[in-house]
Structure 1
Amino acid sequence: MSVRQAAGWTGPIDPKSPIGAQVHSQIKRAILTLELAPNEALSEKELSLKLGVSRTPVREALIKLADEGLVDIFPQRGTYVAPIRVAEVMEARFIREALEIAVVRRVARDADTAFATRLDEQLRMQKQAVDARRLDDFMLLDDQFHHAFSDIAALPRSWKVIQSVKGQLDRVRYLSLPQPGHIEQLYVQHADIVAAVQANNPDLATLHMKTHLRQVFSSIDQLVKQHPSLFGEKAVTANRPGR
């Protein structure tokens, strides 16, 4: 998969909604989908012109993205899209696994018919995206699927924490989507999680969620070899955790 050019990644800014949040969202989305490639220089002036906003919300967005590990700001040198750093990907996966396993265990104990129906609908939309090979849609639906568990468990801050750390991980997820059979496998794993939750089986739901979240290990080494320019200079083989 080649990295797409950034010519058309911007969307309209709604003046009736907070400008800063929209600017941050658009730039972040372009970085996560590699439309703004790792190590690409970022100009506040050019971004403000492209988005049709002043430089202030752009500057604030870049500072926030730096905090999220997606942008590197070097005084006197400039601002760049951060390379994908394998160590940060692994740390994000560790944090995400710890939180999502705890969440899915809680949900599986008490899942009701309404939530079961909600999950079935999400699987239906995912299957449509898989069959049509709509990779971007599948990634968005994947996030909605995982968010649903924190939502139903009334743990919104857990999802905010996950969102704040998984930027590096999301770029690996996006790179891996075109691999043959990959989204099909993710869909099957989602279906396994749903079945365990609907059966009110916390242990099985935990097992399936853990398997699913560790899927990154099956692709990251290959991705480093295929796209070395996207990763940090010291990209190394990912350490596998004990089972």
Structure 2
Amino acid sequence: MTDATLIARPVTTAQQVHDWLHQRILRGDLPPGARLSETDIAEQIGLSRQPVREAFIRLASDGLAEVRPQRGTYIGKISARAVLSARLIREAVESDLARMLADRDADLSTMEAELSVQDRANAQGDVAAFIASDDRFHQAMALAAGQAAVWQDLERLKSQMNRLRHMSMRVFDRSETIGQHRAILTALQARDADAAEAAVRAHLRQMLTELPQIAAAHPDYFTD
């Protein structure tokens, strides 16, 4: 098998089912504790049960589902420990990325454009679009710093964090997040590494306030 064949390999049906369910879990369409039925989902999307079963197994390995023998598959609770771990890693990595980026003449236009997207999504109350733009803003910072692989590593860490974000962004003031993003961008435009690092840290520490409040409001959705 050639390298070109490997690159061109299409996404499997099981992978597509996994990705679809993964997004529904992150958005909260499938809340913690909800039961997943192979039969129901297979009928809903017009597939056999085998790719659905494979998707369930992958979701369990992601920490997003729990397979209970003789009982079925259930959406897992949000791990507060995993949220805090991902947040800590992101703060350490992204504050370094900000310092790297402030030391070079980088193209920050994508980050600027995403702020406009966030303004529109916030005005329209479109939480999913807002969070997608939030992700692209942070990704753009990594790309501008020449660290695309670093962002891919961060993406693999933050599923539990994203579940919390979809909940918190429905409750807390999204304009505050936009203001934090603006502070990061302004510092980068000024080539002020200290201010850029401080702005990133302040932004990512917001979750330390949001997590206990959301967990207190939805105790059945969280686990240590």
Q: TM-score, normalised on structure 2?
A: 0.87
1:135 equivalent among 127, 150, 154: 127
Amino acid corresponding to residue 81 of structure 1 in structure 2: I
Structure 2 residue matching 1:219: 3-state secondary structure: helix
The answer to whether the 8 Å contact 2:110/2:137 transfers is no
Task: Tell me the SS of whatever aligns to 2:156.
Answer: helix
CA RMSD, Structure 1 to Structure 2 (Å): 1.9
Q: For 1:101-140, list aligned pairs within 5 A.
A: 101-112=95-106, 115-140=107-132
CA separation in 1, counterparts of 2:105 and 2:122? 26
1:194-219 Cα distance to aligned partner (Å, 9 max, x none)? 11111122221111111111111111
In the TM superposition, structure 1's runs of 4+ consecutive aligned residues that sit over 4 Å from their partners are: none
Report the secondary structure of 1:69's partner residue.
Answer: coil
* Distance (Å, rounded) in 2 between the aligned partners of 1:53 and 1:226: 37
Moved more, 212-221 or 128-137: 128-137
Aligned equivalents of 2:89, 2:71: Cα separation in 1: 32
Distance 1:97 1:57, change over 3 A: farther
Sequence identity percentage? 33
Match among 148, 161, 172 for residue 156 of structure 1: 148
Give the 5 Å matches for 1:63-82: 63-82=57-76
**Which SS does the other structure have where 2:28 is aligned?**
coil
- Find the aligned partners of 2:203 and 2:11 in 1 and give their Cα distance: 36
SS in 2 for 1:35: coil
| Contact in 2 for aligned 1:111/1:197 (Cα 8 Å) | no
In the alignment, which residue of structure 2 is the partner of 1:10?
A: none
Q: Report the Cα distance in structure 1 between the residues aligned to 2:34 and 2:191, rounded to whole angstroms.
A: 47
Match of 2:13 among 7, 15, 19: 19
Distance (Å, rounded) in 2 between the aligned partners of 1:78 and 1:230: 18
| Per-residue deviation, 1:79 | 1.6
Deviation at 1:17, TM superposition (A): 5.5
Equivalent residues, number: 215
What displacement does 1:63 show? Answer: 2.5
Give the letter for the 1:141 counterpart. Answer: S
Shift of the alpha carbon at 1:67? 2.5
1:210 aligns with 2:204: no
Structure 2: state its 5+ residue gaps: 1-9
The 3 A distance-change label for structure 1 pair 49 and 157 is: farther
Q: CA deviation at 1:48?
A: 2.2
- Structure 1 residue 71 displacement after superposition: 1.3
3-state SS of the aligned residue for 2:146?
A: coil
Aligned to 1:13: none
